[in-house]
Chains A and B, each alone.
Chain A
């Protein structure tokens, strides 16, 4: 039941926002961006938070999805839904191919390998002008239509991205609480121990890696249709690092933490624009301070603070009672 509570709160917020703030830029534009980032962060969190495998190249799969949709719909006139599936199929095969050699690596070496993968994909997007349009990007991507319901306004995109986010959260929570989810967490604890318990660590890690990549690819396709324009710098290694930051900031190994991290990191620059020249410095300082004082991430950190506070109160009142007895 406990994990359902978070889901209900999230659903309530997602549903309530457009009613509370109709036609508001922060809901229809920024929240849509936050929702996409949240989908990516939740998928990355499966890999990082639960399987304990850092990835600094997640934007690559986001990019493969986005460009598959963009290229197949604009240059070959494919149906957008077919293009999404094709993008996911391509992502699946790429992820599966690289998963084995890459996931053999550990710690910083894994970080480097995924970072390298992300950069290589980005260079291909920049240099493969004939297909990708190069650094100037690719435009005129058609929007989606769901059984005749054309997703052509910001509000409609809010509904689509919000629903997909909720679905992805349910999926992630189910995986975490399933048998394979327990295997995943065992992986994070100790790989050797997990191996001893009879968990096929390589297969489990590969499965999570591919799944995370698939979700990122789906998010990429949605991004592509929502923006109707893609260019390589949206999928650069800076964005990969931003995604990792979202996961860590919200609180690793917590799906809702990832969502929270994504929301904060998307809204923060919006609120900081008033500082103009100081924006960069302030953003860096906030990031640093949050991680120094809440190293477990915001969600876990806050929860812990509250628990500590409750515990202290309980202890304080408990102590008084004991004194009374004495």
Chain B
């Protein structure tokens, strides 16, 4: 029984780490621009798909393919901000949501044209020999996912709290006009936020692609789970989003293992709803005050 639980926990943390990175992307963009970016999942897809395309068909070494594909995704993220979000400034929240949904369909459509409908896999970074922890097992790639995820979370934390650029982005999210008045280039900060968020998405996609496989459609489900995780943790709190992601992964895995695999997603959402009923701003979100 203990070995089983250990395996469920390991599985949950791996899956949760992916959710956490996607959720973190949601939180960063939300923080910077009050936009819930429903195209977040597509960043994951674009990162993974372009890495596969570059390494498999163009024969680039894996590390180079990864770097280029992250750059491509960052470019897509910035373009999204520049050409879809920025022109619609001042539009209502729902309108921007629909714009990002349109963007995600558009990006998926392009991926479909470029790479077709097939499912692809990226090679494991360091082999597939399972590592045993008692009776439970772990793939080297799982460690890559967790380690890479942790590194990026720390990096984001450092960026927002210890660098001028990061603080400037945060300033924009607190008060756009004030930030502008103190001489912060608001539109550049927006680009940085979207680029950063795209980078996180792409990295998540690349890290998990060897385990989960990928196709032009993988972004949808990850986007949904990432959004759920960000809400669970409390929208607008980056570290809350990370916690939300890990928690959601653990809930799903434990529900599948201990209760019912058919209803594991339903159990995840029921818990999410219960959390919201008792904490209407998520686990670590600040209670919002209504503007009168």
Contacts and interface: CB of A to CB of B under 8 A. Distances in A.
In the complex, are there CB atoms of A and B closer than 8 Å? Answer: yes
Interface of A: 48, 54, 101-102, 104-109, 111-113, 115-117, 119-120, 123-124, 127, 190-193, 237, 241, 244-245, 248-249, 252, 277-289, 291-292, 295-296
A112 B233 CA distance: 12
A286 B102 CA distance: 8
Contacts of B2: none
Contacts of B101: 241, 245, 287
A284 B266 contact: no
B106 A285 contact: yes
A193 B282 CA distance: 25
A284 B109 contact: yes
A192 B102 contact: no
Contacts of B113: 277-278, 281
Interface in B48-107: 84, 87-88, 90-95, 97-99, 101-107
Contacts of A278: 109, 113
A285 to B, nearest CB: 5
Given A281-B106, A281-B110, A105 B280 contact: yes
A291 B98 contact: yes
**Chain B: interface secondary structure?**
helix
Given A245-B98, A281-B109, A284-B105, A109 B280 contact: yes
B118 to A, nearest CB: 14
B292 interface: yes
Nearest to B290: A192
Nearest to B231: A112
A132 to B, nearest CB: 13
Contact of B265 (A119, A244, A284, A287): A119
Nearest to A54: B94
A248 B97 CA distance: 10
B102 A284 contact: yes
B250 interface: no
A277 B228 contact: no
Given A287-B106, A291-B98, 13 more contacts: A109-B235, A111-B36, A112-B227, A113-B276, A115-B224, A117-B269, A192-B292, A244-B98, A282-B109, A284-B109, A287-B101, A292-B87, A295-B95
Nearest to B234: A109
A123 B110 contact: no
Nearest to B112: A280
B163 to A, nearest CB: 28
B272 interface: yes
A291 B106 CA distance: 14
Contacts of B266: 119-120, 123-124, 127
A112 B98 contact: no
B106 A127 contact: no
Nearest to B90: A295
B158 interface: no
A248 B228 contact: no
A127 B228 CA distance: 22
A119 B264 CA distance: 12
B125 interface: no
A244 B94 contact: yes
Given A280-B105, A281-B110, A281-B113, A108 B91 contact: no
A291 B99 contact: yes
Contacts of A105: 276, 280
Nearest to B265: A123
B88 A280 contact: no
Contacts of A113: 273, 276
B228 to A, nearest CB: 7
Contact of B98 (A104, A120, A123, A248): A248
B31 to A, nearest CB: 13
Contact of A252 (B36, B92, B277, B280): B92
B232 to A, nearest CB: 8
B159 interface: no
Interface in B258-292: 262-263, 265-266, 269-270, 272-273, 276-277, 280-282, 288, 290-292
Nearest to B277: A101
Contacts of A117: 269, 273
A113 B177 CA distance: 32
B26 to A, nearest CB: 10
A41 B112 CA distance: 30
Nearest to A190: B292
B177 to A, nearest CB: 20
Contact of B88 (A107, A112, A284, A291): A291
B105 A283 contact: yes
Contacts of B263: 123, 127
Contacts of B272: 112, 116
A278 B98 CA distance: 20
Task: Sort A-B residue pairs by CB-CB distance and give the 4 closest, nearest first.
Answer: A281-B109, A284-B106, A284-B105, A287-B102
Contacts of B228: 112, 115-116
